[in-house]
Copies of this chain bind each other. A is one copy, B any other.
Amino acid sequence: MDLDRLVAEARDGTPRAVARLISLVEDGSPRLRELAAALAPHTGHARVVGLTGSPGVGKSTTTSALVTALRADDRRVGVLAVDPSSPFSGGALLGDRVRMGEHATDPGVFIRSMATRGHLGGLAAATPQALRVLDAAGCDVILVETVGVGQSEVEVVALADTTVVLLAPGMGDGVQAAKAGILEVGDVFVVNKADRDGADATVRELQHMVSLNRREVSGPAWRPPVVRTVASAGEGVDDLVGALDDHRAWMADHDRLAEGPRRRARAEIEAIALADLRARIRELAGDAALGELAERVVAGELDPYAAADEVVSSVRG
A307 to B270, CA, bound (A): 9
Segment at the interface with B among A188-196, A217-225, A292-300: A292-300
Copy tally for this chain in the complex stands at 2
Q: Which residues in B have their C-beta under 8 angstroms from that of A87?
A: 148, 153, 177-182
Q: Which residues in B have their C-beta under 8 angstroms from that of A290?
A: 266, 269-270
Within 8 Å by CB of A293, from B44, B269, B308, lies B269
- The closest CB in chain B to the CB of A90 belongs to B177
Segment at the interface with B among A34-42, A103-111, A230-238: A34-42
A15 within 8 A of B: no
Chain A 273-317 interface residues, beta-carbon cutoff 8 Å to B: 273-274, 276-278, 281, 285, 290-291, 293-295, 297-298, 300, 303-305, 307-309, 311-312, 315-317
From known contacts A262-B295, A273-B315, A298-B44, infer whether A148 and B308 are also in contact, taking CB-CB under 8 Å. Answer: no
A211 within 8 A of B: no
How far is the CB of A259 from the nearest CB of chain B, in Å?
A: 10
For chain A, the count of residues having a C-beta within 8 Å of the partner chain is 79
Are B182 and A272 neighbours in the complex by a CB distance under 8 Å? no
How far is the CB of A177 from the nearest CB of chain B, in Å?
A: 3
Are A36 and B91 neighbours in the complex by a CB distance under 8 Å? no
Are A37 and B303 neighbours in the complex by a CB distance under 8 Å? yes
Within 8 Å by CB of A269, from B85, B171, B304, lies B304
How far is the CB of A262 from the nearest CB of chain B, in Å?
A: 5
Are B182 and A276 neighbours in the complex by a CB distance under 8 Å? no
- The closest CB in chain B to the CB of A268 belongs to B304
From known contacts A84-B149, A262-B291, A316-B316, infer whether A269 and B307 are also in contact, taking CB-CB under 8 Å. Answer: yes
Chain A: residues with CB nearer than 8 A to chain B? 32-33, 36-37, 40-41, 43-44, 53-55, 84-92, 94, 116-117, 122, 128-129, 147-151, 153, 171-174, 176-182, 258, 261-263, 265-266, 268-270, 272-274, 276-278, 281, 285, 290-291, 293-295, 297-298, 300, 303-305, 307-309, 311-312, 315-317
Q: Please name 14 further chain A to chain B contacts, defined as beta carbons within 8 Å, in addition to the given A40-B300, A88-B148, A274-B278, sorted by A numbering.
A: A37-B305, A54-B86, A86-B148, A86-B150, A86-B153, A87-B181, A91-B177, A149-B150, A258-B298, A265-B307, A268-B304, A269-B294, A269-B304, A270-B311
